[in-house]
Amino acid sequence: MEQARKWLPQPEIDFPCADVSYRWASEKGAALIAVMHFSRVVDGFSRDLEITFRNPLAIQWEEESFGLVESPEKLPKCSGKFREWTHPNLIVENSGWAGRYAARRYSESDLRAGAITHYFLISMNDLLHVLTELVPETRWINPTVA
């Protein structure tokens, strides 16, 4: 059964995100760079989070709706003054999407099949799903001008 848990790439994260943007360049050593725009939330955090996924296996972006990629019904919430909002950084455990991808990519006995992680980035306006075998790199950046 799919289950979402909080992913804390930076320990301070416990507030919603307004938007997610990303850049992808298909090249040797390709990287998907996602920016979570926390600074756009009123009374939120003053910085944005840049997440670099090296050689991701698959991505899926959705605008303000759930459904293109299956996700668990119950999603963890933020705490404190933002306790009504879904936590913005999640990992989907026992992901059906990751399982289907692994079944097509690897044989049953290949240990790498279990190394695929389904990251789920949630904002008020965007959803970004990423499958990867590598741990992403993260860093706080100054807000970007929209």
Contact present, 38 and 141 (Cβ < 8 Å):
no
- Contacts for 130 with CB less than 8 Å, ≥ 6 apart: 32, 34, 53, 56, 58, 59, 118, 119, 121, 136
In a domain, 145, yes or no: no
Q: What is the pLDDT of residue 66?
A: 66
pLDDT of residue 144: 73
Instruction: Return d(Cα 58, Cα 40) in angstroms, integer.
Output: 27
CB 91 within 8 A of CB 2: no
In a domain, 108, yes or no: yes
> Does residue 13 sit within a domain?
yes
Quick one: which of 90, 81, 18, 75 has its CA closest to 48? 18
Domain that holds residue 113: 3-139
| Residue 10: inside a domain | yes
Q: Look at residue 20 in the predicted model and tell me its pLDDT.
A: 97
83 in any annotated domain: yes
* Whole-angstrom distance, CA of residue 19 vs CA of residue 38: 7
pLDDT in single tens digits along all 146 residues of the chain? 999 999 999 888 999 999 999 999 887 878 999 999 999 999 889 999 999 999 999 999 998 776 778 889 999 999 989 999 999 999 999 999 999 999 999 887 887 778 999 999 999 999 999 999 999 999 999 997 65
**Residue at 144 is within a domain:** no
> 146 lies in a domain?
no
Token pair listed for 73: 């019904």
Number of independent structural domains in the chain:
1
